[in-house]
Chain A
Amino acid sequence: MKLLTLALKNLTRNRLRSLLTVLGVAAGMFLYASVQTMQHSLSVATEGNANDTTLVVYRENRFCPMTSRLPEHYLATIERIKGVREVIPIQIAVNNCGASLDVITFRGVPPETLKQYNPNIKVISGSYDDFVKQSDAALVGQHFAERRGLTPGDKFEAVGVNVTVAGIISSDSPQDENVAYVHLPFLQQASRIGLGIVTQFNVRVDSADLLEPVARQIDETFKSDQQPTDTKPEKAFFAETAKQMIELIGFTRWLGLGAVVAVLGLVANAVLLIVRGRVKETAIFQTLGFSRMAIGLMVVFEGVLLGLVGGLIGVLGAMAFFHFKAFTLGNEGLTLALSPSTTVLVSGLVVAVALGLLASLYPAWKATSRPLVQSLNS
């Protein structure tokens, strides 16, 4: 404990150097945490688990909602397939099919079945009843509303569609946080797709092990139809459809790695400078009876403290940034909410401490390996 206190006091000796190092670490860890947030959000959106029981039925060989058109009457056929619990037809209208940070997505659904299909949706302001009653009403996802500054009663226009905000919703599903739910017939007409045409069906099956057989059967059923289908589990559909976005986020791994290496070099350089500036003092401590281990620990504590303080600032800064900015990355009509998570916060801090530790090992060895007499005479 006393060594830790000494290390802390030592860092206040050259405040400007310590401050600059901490700021450098904070910048590096901000970048690292941002990359991790993207990676984490992506893995949540694409990695399936035993609780996932949703299939997405899309038009075969189509990858954008603007081109995926399926007859709404497929609904009745799909509902009859064994293992299917419920089906919801969805018309999607987006302002941009490419990768974008500000994608606007309308999801047209039958208003009376939305809550039944998706019980996780919570109306946090406004009213679900108003949504059901008013044909041009929209339930807007929380992130979407924050981004656009929308509140119940507001009117807004996008993609040529004019709607009135009936309520703001939150949901466990990141997709729901970034869309505006509107009435299906309204969107079909407003987007000029026409009544009776939908973009996709979301199909809930009885259990996860039924995903594959039900998907096969749906595609088999419509194979010879004019509009054949391609059915996939929801997360696999996301992974397949949003390839551009996934590649982009995959590339950011290198930025994260670069940030880690930069932090490592920065802390190592700072601690090495600290050690070089205190060769004689280290020798004095050893003369007083402080062991090499104790001296080394003091040096390591300094590195860890630099890493921890810089890491805290950088990672918390990144968390606050993603929380308040509510970024959504959209591609092919799918949205990926870049949401801060506890996992990223904890892993970011662990990485910052580990980097501080790793960066100070060599300086710690350097500080204690020199012959004592030589250091005293330096």
Chain B
Amino acid sequence: MKDNLISIKSVTKSFTKGKTTITPLENLSLDVPRGEFLSLMGPSGSGKTTLLNLIAGIDTPTSGEILINGEDISQLSRAQLTKWRAVHVGYIFQLYHLVPILSAYENVELPLLLGKYSKAERKKKINAALELVGLSDRADHRPSELSGGQEQRVAIARAIVHDPDLLVADEPTGDLDRESADSILNLLNSLAKDHGKTVVMVTHDPKASAAAHRALQLEKGQFSSEGHLLNTSTQ
């Protein structure tokens, strides 16, 4: 039996916009084993970002269960979810969203400010994270002094610095050139393969999706097809 980090059971998400009720996800179930790099694909409005937000604890489902590491996060309040995210989730955004007035080092430090770490412990963790993404020599640089690929690497370092089990990435290569995108995908793959992180990535890019262990296609809030395990070179 597989050790699932994520187990989604019959989840429905709906909301009202004006007088219309919109249901981006309906009765959806999904299991994601620990250490898997999963790609979610689909056209705009298919519900993939909604699913990602539910998995990351940014949003809550209308019905159903979302078990992450055995904990049903659909029952948590907004404040509880915030605390939960601080420990268990690393979020990677399409546009990196680094704080422009902070250096790479300080950006990576942000999630650690929420925990009880000494300055020395923080320094050790930040340096390790920056080394893992290959940016040790850019620690003092501000985002404006980095390329897009480097900014996304800093964002990944920020997402992993507090050692979460789960990494969620929303179009992480959507704003990058091919070379930088491949480099980021290799990094995400390595985080899953070598560091045991479970990575869930939303993408429009079939090439990016091909880098994942498994790819799922979403259409109108339902999985339409499941991709296969990819080439062994990335695993």
Residues of B near A292 (CB, < 8 A) are 78-79, 82
The reply to whether B101 and A289 contact each other, CB–CB distance below 8 Å, is no
Query: Quick check: B100 and A288 within 8 Å, CB to CB?
Result: no
User: In chain A between 277 and 329, which residues have their CB closer than 8 angstroms to a CB of chain B?
Assistant: 280-281, 284-292, 294
The digit string for B103-119, where 1 denotes a CB below 8 A from any CB of A, is: 00000001101100000
Across the interface, do A291 and B83 meet the contact criterion of CB distance under 8 Å? yes
Kindly state whether residue B219 has any CB partner on chain A within 8 Å. no
Whether a CB of chain B sits under 8 angstroms from the CB of A9 is: yes
Are A289 and B59 in contact, CB atoms less than 8 angstroms apart? Answer: no
Scan residues 1-18 of chain A and give those whose CB is less than 8 A from a CB of chain B: 2, 9-10, 12-13
Contact of A372 with B58 in the complex, beta carbons under 8 Å = yes
A373 and B101 CA atoms in complex are apart in Å by: 24
Interface of A is mostly: helix
B94 shortest CB reach to chain A, Å: 11
CB contacts (< 8 Å) of A10 on chain B: these are: 101
Do A9 and B102 touch across chains, with their CB atoms under 8 A apart? Answer: yes
A339 to B134, CA, bound (A): 63
B37 at the interface (CB under 8 A from A): no
Query: In the assembled complex, how far is the CB of residue B175 from the closest CB belonging to chain A, in whole angstroms?
Result: 15
Choose from B53, B78, B87 the contact partner of A289 (Cβ within 8 Å): B87
In the complex, the answer to whether A280 meets B97 with C-beta atoms within 8 Å is yes
- The CA of A10 and the CA of B220, in the complex, are separated in Å by 41
Pick from A288, A372, A373: contact of B110, CB below 8 A: A288
Residue A273 is within 8 A (CB to CB) of chain B in the complex: no
Q: Which of B58, B82, B102, B114 contacts A373 (CB 8 A)?
A: B58
Do B91 and A288 touch (CB < 8 A)?
yes
Q: Are B114 and A290 in contact (CB under 8 A)?
A: yes
Min C-beta distance of A292 to chain B, whole Å? 7
Cβ contact within 8 Å between B101 and A284: no
Given contacts A280-B97, A281-B97, contact A289 B58 (CB under 8 A): no
Q: Nearest-CB distance from A199 to chain B (Å)?
A: 67
- Expressed in whole angstroms, the Cα–Cα distance for A291 and B83 within the complex equals 7
Q: Are B59 and A373 within 8 A (Cβ)?
A: yes
Interface: B230 (CB within 8 A): no
Asked whether A376 is an interface residue with its Cβ less than 8 Å from the other chain, the reply is yes
On whether the beta carbons of B101 and A286 are closer than 8 Å, the reply is no
- Inter-subunit contact A288/B58 (CB<8 Å): no
Are B101 and A12 touching (Cβ within 8 A)?
A: yes
Contact of B111 among A288, A291, A372 (CB under 8 A): A288
Compute how far the CA of A245 lies from the CA of B158 in the bound complex, rounded to whole angstroms: 64
Are B113 and A2 closer than 8 Å at their CB atoms? yes
Q: Most chain-B Cβ atoms within 10 A of its Cβ — which of A288, A289, A291, A376?
A: A289
Q: Are A281 and B99 in contact (CB under 8 A)?
A: yes
Q: Are A290 and B82 in contact (CB under 8 A)?
A: yes
Contacts of B132 in A (CB 8 A): none
A285 to B110: give the CA distance in the assembly, Å. Answer: 9
List the A residue with the shortest CB-CB distance to B113. Answer: A2
Min CB–CB distance B129 → chain A (angstroms): 14
Between A and B, 27 residue pairs with Cβ closer than 8 Å are: A9-B101, A9-B102, A13-B101, A280-B97, A281-B97, A281-B99, A284-B93, A284-B97, A286-B82, A287-B58, A288-B86, A288-B110, A288-B111, A288-B114, A288-B158, A289-B85, A289-B114, A290-B82, A290-B86, A290-B110, A290-B114, A291-B79, A291-B82, A292-B78, A372-B59, A373-B53, A373-B59
Given A289-B85, A290-B114, A292-B82, 20 more contacts at CB 8 Å?
Answer: A280-B97, A281-B97, A281-B99, A285-B110, A286-B82, A288-B91, A288-B114, A288-B158, A289-B82, A289-B87, A290-B82, A290-B86, A290-B110, A291-B79, A291-B83, A292-B78, A372-B58, A372-B59, A373-B58, A373-B59
Residues of B within 8 A of A (CB): 53, 56, 58-59, 78-79, 82-83, 85-87, 89, 91, 93, 97, 99-102, 110-111, 113-114, 158
| Closest 9 A/B residue pairs (Cβ) | A289-B86, A284-B97, A9-B101, A289-B85, A2-B113, A289-B114, A373-B59, A287-B91, A291-B82
